[in-house]
Amino acid sequence: MSAPDDTNLKALLLLSKESPLARARESLLRGLPDDELAELVAQMISRDKPRGDLEEIARMMLDVIMRRDAQNDALISLATKNDTAVTTSDREIKANYTSETIKNNSAPPSRKRPASKQPPSTDQETASTKRAKHGDGNKKISLRNHNLGFMLGQTKQAIEVVYWDPRQKDYSSLALGNVHNHLVNVLVDRFFIDYLPGDIEICASEDFLQSQEDCTSTQLRVNKVFERLVERGRGRHCILGDTSTACDMCIKGKRLCTRVVRVGGLNKLGFFPLPEDLRVGRKLQELEFWVQP
């Protein structure tokens, strides 16, 4: 019986020796067909290991299984809610239709009313119209923040969002869903633009959590982004460089520097401001404090 082909395992082990090669390792791993990936995992498990390593592998696999089960349970629950909502909606439509039919058949004809005044032009919007528009924008942002919080809760472990506050020289928690916090709105909007551009409007939808298709596809993209940000947190810049400011790659790319960091023994999604010399004259709540113009 011929020995199993361990070419993939050898290549991945070589790429694992240096952190700058993490992207190449990730690319090779994602490019493996299902059968080769399964064989690779079996080869890694079958290698001789001390008891401590085996326990670590067991814990990791248990976490993966539990995460997958939790995601499946969440999707089943969402599908059930969706079916219930559709049934209730159908009943309401039928009831409203019956009620309107009775009204129309029994109500006497009404007199014509004088024509009302024309609504104000676009250039002369009323204050109430402006308030309504502003409120709708806040509602979208609030939903987006809430739904991002839900999706981060479906990752390997429920993950908190933090940002580095140069004034306090420490991490501060970012309260997702707080529509009145301008900093939350600025950072979450920019995170979607830079990392999940195709989902920025989907996540601002009220029925996002009831839409199994949208929720599943967006969750998968969030999981992939999360994995990339974990690798970025382990990168050379984060080990040797200034870990409290944006990395050179994000500064050059004019995007919000985001990476997974270890705070208080837990993984957290962290946002990092520009270096001090690039944010002179800017305030914490301004986008230019975080992203190179």
**Interval 256-269: pLDDT, tens:** 988 888 888 887 88
Strand spans (E) along 151-265 = 160-165, 170-173, 257-263
The 3-state DSSP class for residue 162 equals strand
pLDDT value, residue 56: 76
- The alpha carbon dihedral of 247, 252, 258, 260 has a sign of negative
pLDDT value, residue 72: 57
Highest mean pLDDT among 39-53, 206-220, 279-293: 279-293
Residue 194 has pLDDT above 90, yes or no: no
pLDDT value, residue 165: 94
The candidate with the shortest Cα–Cα distance to 147, out of 93, 229, 205, is 205
Three-class SS string for 95-158?
HHHHHHHHHHHHCCCCCCCCCCCCCCCHHHCCHHHHHHHHHHHHHHHHHHHHHHHHHHCCCCCC
Residue 86 has pLDDT above 50, yes or no: no
Helix axes 212-233, 127-152, angle to 10 degrees: 70
Helix axes 51-106, 212-233, angle to 10 degrees: 150
The candidate with the shortest Cα–Cα distance to 19, out of 240, 198, 175, is 240
Structure tokens at 146: 């809430």
Task: State the burial class of residue 291 (Cβ atoms within 10 Å of its Cβ: 0-12, 13-18, 19+).
Answer: buried
- CB–CB of 184/148 below 8 Å? no
pLDDT value, residue 152: 52
- CB–CB of 284/165 below 8 Å? yes
pLDDT value, residue 284: 94
Cα–Cα distance, 144 to 185 (Å, whole number): 9
Alpha carbon 231 to its chain centroid, in Å, reads 17
**Interval 7-64: pLDDT, tens:** 888 888 887 777 677 777 777 877 788 788 888 888 887 777 787 777 777 777 777 6
Compute φ and ψ for 15, nearest 5 degrees: -70, -20
pLDDT value, residue 253: 87
Radius of gyration of the chain measured on its C-alpha atoms: 26
Mode of pairing for the β-strands spanning 170-173 and 160-165: antiparallel
Cα–Cα distance, 147 to 129 (Å, whole number): 27
Please give the average per-residue pLDDT across 224-230, as a whole number. Answer: 60
Q: Where are the domains of the chain?
A: 128-289
pLDDT value, residue 21: 73
Residue 142 has pLDDT above 60, yes or no: no
- CB–CB of 51/140 below 8 Å? no
Structure tokens at 216: 């599943």
